[in-house]
Amino acid sequence: MYAVFTRDDAGRAGRSVAAQTTALVVALVFGVIAAGLAAAYVQARRAVADEATARVLAVAQSVAAEPDVVAAVGDGDAGGVLQPLAEAVRVNTRTDFVVVMSPDGIRYSHPNPEQVGRRFVGHIEGAQAGGTVVEDYTGTLGPSRRAVVPVLSGGRVVGLVAVGIGKEAVNARLADELPPLLVAGAVAGLLAAVGTTLIARRVRRQTRGLRAAELQAMHDHHDAVLHSVTEGLVLVDPEGRVRLANDEARRLLGLPEDPAGREVAELGLAAPLVAAMTDADVREDDLHVTGSRVLVLNKARAHRDGEDLGSVVTVRDRTDLEELTGELGAARGLAEALRSQAHESGNRLHTMVSLIELGHPERAVEFATGELERAQQLTDVVVTGVEDPTVSALLLGKAAEAHERGVELVIDPGLRWPADVGTARDVVTVIGNLVDNAVDAVTGVDGVRRVSLRSRDLGDRVELVVADTGPGIPPELRSRVLERGFSTKSGGGQAGRGIGLALVHHTVERLGGTLAIDDPPGATVTVTLPLRGPA
């Protein structure tokens, strides 16, 4: 017994798969958005800092290259022209300070005039050596991004120029970059919310709102059931592709290990079986012969909410049942033949006793020896020409059964049947079904009721010919009589009908032989089978 997992049992198993998926997607998306915003903020901060650096450096280099500045620095700013010039540049370039100083760092200009003449606060060693200094430093005006460059005259450093932008201005510029980033993040979050909602609805619809534990339990139970049932189960979608096949279906139909996703027509099945599994018909106890198996197929259409989901096909093995039925029929036939022989033997015995009592003993001896001679002749023909004792017993039993049904079974005196033709089961299937069909064909017809059987050893193969004096098989039906379930007998299509010739046909094909149907006067079936070993 399998336990049934219900929603009440799963009450503590967590949220549904759709809810869990939604939570994971939301966490992932908003995590990505947050990481993106952080990266964009860092990038914007770096860009603003780089922009400030480029501005102060460009302004400093421009001021240091100004001829008036070079001349004024050279004479120690004797005329006091550097303070107004530096302030004008500061205002025009929207920087926070432009300081021109001596090579020792004594200021010639400053936004605060009181700082003029004092020493510059910051690192100027690199500029004094003829290089450039770019740094963040807290000076008299607060923290700033600054650049210090030398003023050159004749290859000598005659002064220094420092230009800076306060950190507050840099941060204000960065603050101007934040609103677009926040708007982009909000839009991304909105789109993510809409997308997550749609995904959650789809997942909820596809999972029926089940929890993960419920889905897992359902899968485990269904998988266990599919592997344990004794019937073959195949799910076929409306396009004719296999969606699921359990172990028994793969065994009975000879399917590959994983047929899921493949079309039924690509699996190497017989055409009637493919048609039965893929058409739109509902089938009940449909008989099919495949290889050496007799299968019973049932098919039902699957629908959900008006949608066609395909077909559910179940397959049962009826091979053993058919063999048991055949063996039972043979046993009944043999019992009937023995009963008939016993009845005839009693009549013959009474006849011989009566002849003796009437004073005709010579007639009694003649009568008895004649019957024994005919029986012995048939036995001698079968035993001499057939090397397989199973076939000999089969032919003698069929002869007695035919005689009981008023049919003359004529066995060719030149009958030859080697011992190495297929297995005993295969040989009994071929000969038994052919003789039974021939006897059925002539039973009840007017005129001669005869079935003839002959066999020839052709060296590498054996030829078997079974002919009857029945009505024959019309040419247009000769291919159909080899199909499972089709029969020209009355009641064709009922259980047990249309199996014999189909079994013979598949057995002959499996053994590598051939089968042909001819006439007149009745039906003549010719079968050739290869020998299993050297002739």
More confident residue, 325 or 421: 421
Whether the CB-CB separation of 314 and 248 falls below 8 Å is answered with no
Q: How far is it, in rounded angstroms, from Cα 454 to Cα 464? A: 6
* CA gap 534, 421 in Å, rounded: 11
Beta bridge partners, 211, equal 16
CA 154 to chain centre: 84
Tally the C-alpha atoms within 13 A of residue 117's C-alpha that lie toward its C-beta: 4
Confidence class for position 217, pLDDT limits 50, 70, 90: low
How would you class 151 by CB atoms within 10 Å of its CB: exposed for 0-12, middle for 13-18, buried for 19 or more? Answer: buried
- Token pair of 386 as six digits: 């057939």
Edge-to-edge strands of the sheet including 242-245? 242-245, 232-236, 307-317, 293-304, 283-290
At residue 96, what are phi and psi to the nearest 5 degrees? -95, -25
pLDDT at 328 over 70: no
Q: Report the pLDDT averaged over residues 278-293.
A: 76
Residue 490 token pair: 């009355």
Secondary structure element (H or E) that encloses residue 59, with its range: helix 17-64
Q: Do residues 108 and 100 touch, judged by C-beta distance below 8 A?
A: yes
pLDDT of residue 495: 40
Q: What percent of the chain has pLDDT over 90?
A: 1
Tracing tokens 């929603």 back to the chain, one arrives at: 7
Give the span between the Cα atoms of 173 and 342, in whole angstroms: 122
Tokens representing 29 are 């998306």
Write out pLDDT tens, residues 94-145: 888 888 988 888 888 888 888 888 889 888 888 888 888 888 888 888 888 8
Give the model confidence (pLDDT) of 437-470 as tens digits.
888 888 877 778 888 888 888 888 889 888 888 8
Give yes or no for a contact between 125 and 48, defined as CB atoms under 8 angstroms apart.
no
Tell whether the model's pLDDT for residue 499 goes beyond 70: no
Task: Give per-residue pLDDT as tens, 133-185.
Answer: 888 888 888 888 888 999 888 888 889 999 988 877 666 666 666 677 677 77
Higher-confidence residue: 478 or 403?
403
Given strand 514-518, what is the order of strands in its sheet?
408-411, 450-457, 461-468, 524-530, 514-518
Is residue 432's pLDDT more than 80?
yes
